[in-house]
Amino acid sequence: MSVPVRIYLDHNSTAPLHPAAATVWENFARAPTPENPSSIHWAGRLARRRLGEARAKLAELLGASDARELFFTASGSEANVMALQGALAFAPPARRRILVSAIEHPSVLGALEATCRRRPDLEVEVLHVTRGGTIDLDAAKARLGADVFLVSLMLANNETGVLQPVRDLALGARAVGALVHCDAAQAVGKMPVDVGDLGVDLLTAGGHKFGAGFGLGLLVNRGVRTEPLLPGAQEAGLRGGTENVAAAAAAAAALEATLAGAGETSARIGALRDRLEEGLAARVPNLVVHGAESPRLANTSQVSFLGAPAEAVLIGLDLEGIAVSSGSACASGSLEPSHVLRAMGISDAEAAAAVRFSLGPSNTGAEIERTIDTVAAVVANVRRHTGQ
């Protein structure tokens, strides 16, 4: 039995390790001595220097005004929890309201839910989104007031790729003295992200989303008073635990290399994504592309093949060597329809048929053509077996 040629179209879940990051990891693996930046001897000093260089480079690439604004965590999810729970610890009684979009990552929604269990005086209000996948900006601005402490809005949705009006909402939030948190995990590395230009106070990302490898989250904190998530002396006392120097250095190398050719790469990937959607529309009847009318990341396409359950389609594509997703990798295994699509007003039946294709720099035109052919065959087969 021949092994199918493998095609990876799940970059929003995890991007392949960037060659620049791979070189860094390899060099650290071959180092003759371990490097703990908390140690006072020569090996510790070397580690602190390398950690500082990575911090400075990442802060620069994300538009932070000072390297001391950037903090390392173990993941993007942890960075979200650190930002939100840490800041909300100091929410005064007069500012009890928190605004959050309905399509945020589970780590954001979970952090707010956990915080409100401990602080029942706080109140979370959900910002609704349109069928196109963007928040209703006018409605969101109308809910801003002097009693709002914090607003949380992602930059790019991990399922649909739809971009959110973070800058516009941040302007309104600043006018009433509210803090703004932005989960930029899906955007960093795929487009320029500048925390100053966005006008947010807290910005989070995860290294594995842009090819740095696992084990690193990023938090840009522009002067917000926060309570430590993990007590300890590291990260200016805001996050205890020995820093992952290799992961930080790999992240700096990966993000710098990725952004160096981001414009050209994004245009090429966008053309491949458009060809994928065009080809699927021509070959597969009764499909819907979610968020197609809204600004999106160039690499992302979430498609519902009506009458073909996503789980069956994913299995069929996997057997043919094509890796895709039904949505957020963090929610894999869940039988519940996507909370993102539900928030957009998509029916449960349509949401249950949604498949996410997320492309990357390594994908080729030939891979997209093979994917179109394979998806058409798999969906037709699934529909035959489900009586659709």
> CA 377, CA 212: separation in Å to the nearest integer?
35
Indicate the pairing of strand 300-305 with strand 354-358. Answer: antiparallel
Asked if 182 is an active-site residue, the reply is no
> CA 339, CA 39: separation in Å to the nearest integer?
45
- Say which of 330, 331, 376, 377 is annotated catalytic: 330
Burial category of 6 from C-beta neighbours within 10 Å (exposed 0-12, middle 13-18, buried 19 and up): exposed
> CA 345, CA 47: separation in Å to the nearest integer?
50
Buried b (16+ CB within 10 A) or exposed e, 324-351: bbbbbeebeeeeebbbbbebbebeeebb
Indicate the pairing of strand 148-152 with strand 97-101. Answer: parallel
Residue in 2, 3, 1, 6 with CA at minimum distance from that of residue 370:
6
CA angle, residues 52, 53, 57, in degrees to nearest 5: 115
Indicate the pairing of strand 179-183 with strand 217-221. Answer: unpaired
Q: Is 302 helix (H, G, I), strand (E, B) or coil?
A: strand
**Known catalytic residues?**
330
